[in-house]
């Protein structure tokens, strides 16, 4: 019986400790939730996180803002129709009467904005007039075809000023994308850490179940020996107390595990229960490098890129404000034909000929004396830009510090895995020795229970070390800006109204 007892204890240490609570899914009902891998968890987090969904909608709104800004170059068509009558008293030397003019106007115009800031326009006007007293031609048809252009030469010249709404909208979308990337960073990091924490707590439940089973076997052994008169009653009570303690620890471990599992389900927006696959956390080999990690962070971290986009936006504002300091000097030019006839065909004939051409070229200069509004707007934009550049320099220093801290954490966490492995091997061998010594009366029940507790704690420490190392990997990937790339998350740059998501996930 003693050999059977020792074999049972060793089996509990090796076999039972490898069986998680969720591994018995085959005996559960068919509606048991499917087991999720880390890639499954990350994919669901990206697909179902409501904050990410809201951020994607904001990004889509910024894309619509760009398309809206391009409406600047949409031609404008103007149609006008008017019919009326005008009466007035005539005051002439030999004629005192009243005049009457019945008229009908139909006008057509098309205007267009150019990238240089110029406005071009084509107008076609038609007027039918019936006057009393009648002039030489009554009724008469009068027409005018005119092409006109107004081009700023100083203030308002150039595509930067003309397309400022488009450029601001583009920068706004770039900032919105960085906001979306940062949200994805946070979701992935939080989900990864929660996933590994759930695995750690699940292993803790597993170890506590093995402890309860071992303590129950020890209690059964002591009871049998007490009944046989080999052991005193106190050994039975001590074994019973040890069992109660481990059952209490198991309840606490199960509660923590279930709470963490519910937290993970909340991150995934899953209303029902979830289950994770039975696997130990991997030990990814990361070769941290401060110089390379710092460079990756500056190129890929959303907070750094968002600051850069904001500075670029302020530089754009500064260029526009600098242009506003210039005087307004506009070149205007127009060319057209006029027509007049008793019939509408005569009017059109004049419009098609070169006999009644009209043209004009001129310059208009305008400059507000003092120009304080433009000068102080330029100063404000420059001060704001320099302030953001100072903040960016501070952020770069912070990034370097965070990368250094993440590298130290990664190295220490990796070393802890080796330490806990040695601790576990020592605790396991110690417990084996205590069990054998107890069989020959050289070890007490308390010593065996303490040895078993040390073994359980060593298992817990090793599981925590694995979890902490993977969390350290997550932190390093996050602070160096490589997390999205590491998890194969991509962004869809071009999309339409029918697309469902701007995020792509391909594990």
Residue range 108-138, pLDDT digits in tens: 999 999 999 999 999 999 999 988 778 878 8
> Are 16 and 216 a contacting pair, CB within 8 Å?
no
**CA within 13 Å, CB half, 311:** 14
CA distance 151 to 129: 35
Q: Is the peptide bond before 133 cis (omega within 30 degrees of 0)?
A: yes
Widest CA span in the chain: 152
Structure tokens, 411: 């190295």
pLDDT at 17: 41
Q: Which helix (H) or strand (E) holds 472?
A: helix 445-479
pLDDT at residue 7, as a whole number: 41
pLDDT given for residue 503 in this prediction: 59
Could you count the other beta carbons within 10 Å of the beta carbon of residue 96? 9
Residue 63: phi, psi to the nearest 5? -65, -40
Domains and CATH numbers, the chain: 2-18+35-48+166-311+386-489 (1.20.1600.10), 75-113+118-155+329-366 (no CATH)
Q: What is the pLDDT of residue 505?
A: 55
Contact 320, 160 (CB under 8 A): yes
The pTM of the whole model exceeds 0.85: no
pLDDT of residue 11: 38
What pLDDT, on a 0 to 100 scale, did the predictor assign at position 24?
Answer: 36
346, 348, 350, 354: CA torsion to nearest 10: -150
State the Cα–Cα distance between residues 120 and 149, nearest whole angstrom.
4
Q: What is the pLDDT of residue 16?
A: 36
Residues 6 or more apart whose Cβ sits within 8 Å of residue 211? 246, 249, 250, 452, 453, 456
Name the stretches of the chain with pLDDT < 70: 1-31, 91-96, 492-507
pLDDT on residue 495? 47
Show the CA angle centred on residue 194, arms to residues 189 and 199, nearest 5°. 130
Per DSSP, 441 falls in state T
Q: In what order do the strands lie in the sheet with 357-366?
A: 76-91, 96-113, 119-132, 140-152, 328-341, 357-366
- HSE-up of residue 147 (Cα within 13 Å, Cβ side): 2
**Percent of the chain with pLDDT strictly greater than 90:** 59
- Closest to 309 (Cα-Cα) out of 401, 174, 148, 202: 174
Q: How far is CA 250 from CA 204, 254, 257, 287, in A?
A: 9, 6, 10, 38
């Amino acid at each position: 019986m003693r050999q059977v007892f020792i074999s049972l204890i060793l089996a509990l240490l090796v076999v039972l400790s490898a069986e998680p609570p969720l591994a018995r899914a085959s005996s559960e009902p068919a509606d048991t939730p499917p087991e999720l891998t880390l890639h499954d968890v990350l994919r669901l987090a990206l697909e179902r996180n409501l904050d990410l969904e809201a951020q994607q909608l904001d990004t889509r709104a910024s894309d619509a803002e760009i398309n809206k800004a391009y409406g600047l170059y949409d031609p404008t068509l103007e149609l006008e129709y008017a019919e009326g009558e005008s009466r007035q008293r005539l005051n002439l030397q030999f004629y005192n009467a009243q005049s009457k003019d019945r008229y009908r106007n139909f006008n057509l115009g098309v205007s267009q904005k150019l990238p240089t800031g110029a406005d071009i326009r084509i107008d076609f006007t038609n007027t039918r007039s019936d006057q009393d007293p009648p002039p030489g031609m009554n009724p008469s048809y009068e027409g005018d075809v005119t092409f006109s252009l107004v081009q700023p030469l100083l203030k308002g010249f150039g595509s930067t000023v003309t397309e400022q709404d488009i450029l601001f909208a583009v920068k706004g979308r770039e900032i919105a994308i960085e906001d979306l990337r940062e949200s994805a960073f946070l979701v992935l990091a939080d989900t990864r850490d929660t996933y590994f924490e759930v695995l750690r707590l699940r292993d803790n439940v597993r170890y506590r179940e093995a402890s309860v089973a071992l303590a129950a076997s020890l209690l059964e052994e002591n009871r049998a020996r007490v009944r046989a008169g080999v052991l005193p009653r106190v050994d039975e009570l001590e074994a019973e107390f040890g069992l109660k303690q481990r059952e209490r620890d198991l309840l606490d471990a199960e509660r923590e595990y279930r709470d963490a599992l519910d937290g993970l389900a909340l991150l995934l927006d899953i209303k029902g229960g979830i289950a994770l696959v039975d696997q130990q956390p991997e030990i990814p080999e990361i070769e941290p490098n401060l110089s390379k990690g710092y460079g990756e962070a500056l190129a890929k971290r959303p907070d750094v890129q968002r600051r850069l986009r904001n500075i670029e936006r302020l530089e754009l504002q500064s260029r526009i404000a600098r242009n506003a300091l210039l005087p307004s000097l506009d070149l205007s030019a127009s060319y057209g034909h006029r027509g007049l006839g008793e019939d509408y065909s005569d009017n059109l004939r004049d419009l098609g000929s070169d006999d009644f051409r009209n043209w004009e070229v001129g310059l208009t200069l305008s400059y507000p004396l003092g120009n304080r509004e433009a000068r102080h707007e330029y100063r404000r934009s420059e001060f704001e830009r320099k302030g953001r550049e100072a903040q960016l320099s501070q952020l770069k220093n912070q990034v370097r510090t965070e990368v250094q801290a993440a590298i130290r954490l990664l190295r220490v966490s990796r070393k802890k895995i080796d330490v806990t492995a040695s601790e576990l091997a020592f605790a396991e061998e110690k417990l084996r020795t205590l069990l054998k010594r107890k069989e020959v009366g050289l070890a007490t029940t308390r010593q065996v229970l303490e040895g078993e507790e040390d073994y359980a704690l060593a298992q817990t420490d090793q599981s925590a070390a694995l979890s902490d190392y993977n969390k350290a990997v997550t932190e390093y990937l996050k602070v160096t800006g490589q997390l999205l790339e590491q998890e194969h998350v991509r962004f869809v740059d071009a999309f339409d109204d029918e697309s469902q998501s701007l995020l792509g996930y391909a594990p």
